[in-house]
Chains A and B, each alone.
Chain A
């Protein structure tokens, strides 16, 4: 293995990761400087239940009309983010536990997930370029992040099947992009995973306090089914 690759998949990653963590810490501190108004009312429900339900929302596609109506879109979301998780995992496994990927079925599984995410990424890129609503609201960051992520997935698939002695460029590309993302993500929409717990917490707490969430299970079925009773 060349010294470039060794430094890239090790020291550079760690430096980038430290940078990411530091910036995120500053970002969170900045967000927490904004004030919260204290709710003066007596609760009609449970804030805890509301928060829990809200945090779990993305894992409950039946609970929101938007995801219920678009199961294909939701499936894409799942595959895409599994790909992200797999690629991130690979960026740790390759330098620190390479033996893991010597087991062919495991490497193949990771490749398959990341390849599927690659395909979904392409679909999403086409959507963002052709859907009139998304064209109207999308920023260069939206397009760039998605395109680069798609490239990263491709690099990941190639990196997982390559051997350093046969040509290092897939691995260099993969780890180069990983390092780039670690630096870029906190300033981009990709950092949304940091905000998800926060938006969900505040929405869930407010609506849980009022007893608006979570909905009782049998009543949600009625809301969807449109029962007739006379």
Chain B
């Protein structure tokens, strides 16, 4: 096999860093000891990789692996290639071929007999597996734009996730991926927030909200049974910016909603989506679904998060083998309902700065919400502008696929974010609104790096700004 030279920005050659994995083993972490969280061990990883590949390929993956005709149309749909048109290793077809060639060599037909004829190939050692890790974790945000633009319907984004899953099983992952997976396995949430911190933060926000509204009737309930809404959040909201929890609580209060947060199972984010680990995906999602069962909530509401929405609303039920029994919706849908039913009143005059909307990959391409956030924004903003392209054709914020937790891939990520920067600049908007926390950080990085005069906001914030609180709280 021809050895590839140092690839894009040296990303392909980023070494495998297992320091925190070693530490996790030494500390005897439960998730490691029980074999849920895999760590890297030198040995016959190639054989294990090939074995996993053969066992895990599903039918949709198999047809995506066989159907590619190397037409190259996917190339211009990918922001990595658009920003680096001199670099063929940035194209979806090239990236997909890195796993496809192995499939051709060991699972498919022609590639097993005459591999060179169909460019079948293999991985030979842990170095090769490490390079593969860099490619599927570091040169792709799994935004699925290529899948939507392939004439054959090859789902390259799914192939990337599949490959990540194989590598995660061997512990051959970027350090950031291991750390976050470890935290989510061990504590049930992505940021290792303890129960004490969680409850105290909620109490703190409740107190600030009571001061702000001048009433003691507003609550942030925890583990209240038989409510209409089970609200689930992103750990980032507890750890770094609880204002969004206060926004939600205020809105629920004014809308007169019966709602609660659960004491366990409150994390709607799901790193299993990014690491390709269906077991982690199942564990986290199941926590949420079982909390809803336990508390007999009528519906599950997910705070604004792209991958969290996709994982909890869609993928999680399949990962966890759990039949969906209750409506599971994004908080934006809840807001839309409140507005349509007149349960909350808003004044768009409170949001005067020009706003544009950034469709998140996991919500627009891998989910169903495209018009709904716009309908909400139309009511709470005075000056709304679309970016181009938008909706399902929008470009990724560049921080998707878990890239924000992988520092080694940041330079390349920011380089290819030029596509996004140009898109944002062209709107002339001051605010860019998004339904995803990851996009908030991804876009913030783009804005800072390309010095754009913009700020990122979320739908909850804009609605809370525009909220007309009745003079007397009736509950």
Q: Which residues of A contact B (CB under 8 A)?
A: 27, 31-32, 34-42, 44-45, 54, 57-58, 64-67, 69-70, 73, 77, 131-142, 187-189, 192, 195-196, 198-200, 202-204, 206, 210-212, 215-216, 219-220, 222-230
Contact = CB atoms under 8 A, between A and B. Distances in A.
Task: Name the residue among A195, A210, A220, A224 with the largest chain B CB count within 10 angstroms.
Answer: A195
B368 A203 contact: no
B89 A41 contact: no
B314 A37 contact: no
Given A199-B153, A202-B60, A229 B385 contact: yes
A60 to B, nearest CB: 11
B392 A223 contact: yes
Contacts, number: 192
B435 interface: no
B368 A44 contact: yes
29 contacts: A27-B109, A31-B62, A34-B57, A35-B58, A37-B58, A38-B318, A40-B320, A65-B77, A65-B148, A65-B389, A66-B149, A131-B72, A132-B86, A134-B70, A136-B88, A137-B70, A139-B70, A139-B119, A195-B63, A196-B67, A196-B153, A199-B152, A199-B153, A203-B60, A212-B364, A219-B391, A223-B389, A227-B386, A229-B386
B149 to A, nearest CB: 4
A4 B318 CA distance: 59
Nearest to A131: B72
B151 A67 contact: yes
Contact of A137 (B72, B387, B388): B72
A199 B64 contact: yes
A228 B386 contact: yes
Contact of B155 (A34, A199, A229): A199
Contact of A212 (B58, B153, B313, B365): B365
Contacts of A38: 318
Contact of B60 (A36, A57, A131, A215): A36
Contact of A223 (B75, B154, B390): B390
Task: Name the residue among A36, A215, A220 with the largest chain B CB count within 10 angstroms.
Answer: A215
A35 B63 CA distance: 12
Nearest to B310: A210
B371 interface: yes
B91 A73 contact: no
Contact of B94 (A65, A136, A222, A229): A136
Given A189-B70, A212-B392, A136 B64 contact: no
A64 B389 CA distance: 12
Interface of B: 57-64, 66-70, 72-77, 81, 86, 88-89, 91, 93-94, 97, 109-110, 116-119, 147-155, 313-314, 317-318, 320-324, 327-328, 354, 364-368, 370-371, 382-393
A66 B76 contact: yes
B58 A219 contact: no
Given A69-B76, A141-B117, A219 B60 contact: no
Given A34-B58, A225-B388, 17 more contacts: A31-B66, A34-B59, A41-B317, A132-B86, A133-B91, A134-B70, A137-B94, A137-B97, A139-B119, A142-B69, A188-B110, A192-B67, A198-B59, A203-B155, A210-B368, A215-B391, A226-B387
B383 A140 contact: no
A37 B368 contact: no
B70 A198 contact: no
B62 to A, nearest CB: 5
Nearest to B145: A65
A224 B60 contact: no
A31 B59 contact: yes
B116 A133 contact: no
Task: Name the residue among A34, A138, A196, A199 with the largest chain B CB count within 10 angstroms.
Answer: A199
Contacts of A211: 368
B151 A64 contact: yes
Contacts of B59: 31-32, 34-36, 198, 202
Nearest to B329: A44
Nearest to A32: B59
Task: Name the residue among A58, A139, A200, A227 with the largest chain B CB count within 10 angstroms.
Answer: A139
B62 A34 contact: yes
B314 A136 contact: no
A137 B368 CA distance: 34
A40 B391 CA distance: 26
B285 to A, nearest CB: 10
A29 B365 CA distance: 31
A40 B366 contact: no
B88 A132 contact: yes
B58 A36 contact: yes
Nearest to A212: B368
B276 to A, nearest CB: 14
A73 B73 contact: yes
B324 A66 contact: no
A202 B63 contact: yes
Nearest to B278: A37
A199 B318 contact: no
B152 A192 contact: yes
Given A226-B389, A230-B383, A40 B324 contact: yes
Contact of B390 (A135, A196, A204, A226): A226
B333 to A, nearest CB: 10
A210 B318 contact: no
Task: Name the residue among B116, B328, B386 with the largest chain A CB count within 10 angstroms.
Answer: B386
B87 to A, nearest CB: 9
A65 B149 contact: yes
Contacts of B69: 142, 189, 192
A58 B150 CA distance: 9
A230 B428 CA distance: 12
